[in-house]
Amino acid sequence: MPAQPTSWPLPTVTATDPAREDICLRQSIEAAKVQLRELHDEVKERSAAACAAIFRVHEAFLDDPDLVDTALERIKAHV
């Protein structure tokens, strides 16, 4: 029997200061990238480079300008 997707209610939040939200998003992305690099190094040390590679892939997602631009557009549109 295939697992059914879990649905969680998304919070309804309106950005009242898009410029501040832009800064927060960019800071959060940079912090996440640092954490992903640390996880990569830890897993690589304990396991293998192939197992640790997934963290580099996740870091690459955070460098995707389309992802970031879409998020910022939605913030600016107060969506």
Spatial distance between the Cα atoms of 26 and 32, rounded to a whole number of angstroms:
10
The domains of the chain are located at 18-76
Residue 23: the pLDDT is 94
Confidence band, pLDDT 50/70/90 cuts, at residue 3: low
**Of the ranges 7-11, 39-43, 74-78, which one carries the lowest mean pLDDT score?**
7-11
Here the contacts of 33-39 (C-beta below 8 Å, separation 24 or greater) are: 33/59, 33/62, 33/63, 36/62
- Express each pLDDT in 28-71 by its tens digit: 999 999 999 999 999 999 998 889 999 999 999 999 999 999 99
